[in-house]
Amino acid sequence: MDFEESLESWEEYYDMSPDHIELLMSLYKRRISHPQETIVLSKREVQLIGTGDEEGLSGARNHSGR
């Protein structure tokens, strides 16, 4: 499955908003263009994720391998 097909699948499965898709695209492009760098989210990006759950955010940080 290529990236576009994967994106469409996620969009449908997770009922993603256009803002969420934009965030996903931004994160993907940053990771691909700079695979060794830590991705730092803006306040807006954190808000788009929609969690105030520090444990969930911590899990995401740990999942990144950084």
Residue 5 parent element (H or E)? helix 3-13
Domain count, the chain: 1
What pLDDT is attached to residue 34?
96
16-23 mean pLDDT: 90
Higher pLDDT, 64 or 16: 16
State both tokens at 8: 């469409």
Q: pLDDT (tens digit, 9 = 90+) per residue, 29-40?
A: 999 999 999 999
Could you give the CA distance from residue 35 to residue 28 in angstroms, rounded to a whole number?
10
Provide the percentage of residues in the chain whose pLDDT is more than 70.
76
pTM of whole model > 0.85? no
Q: Is the pLDDT of residue 59 over 90?
A: no
Give the domain extent around 32: 3-63
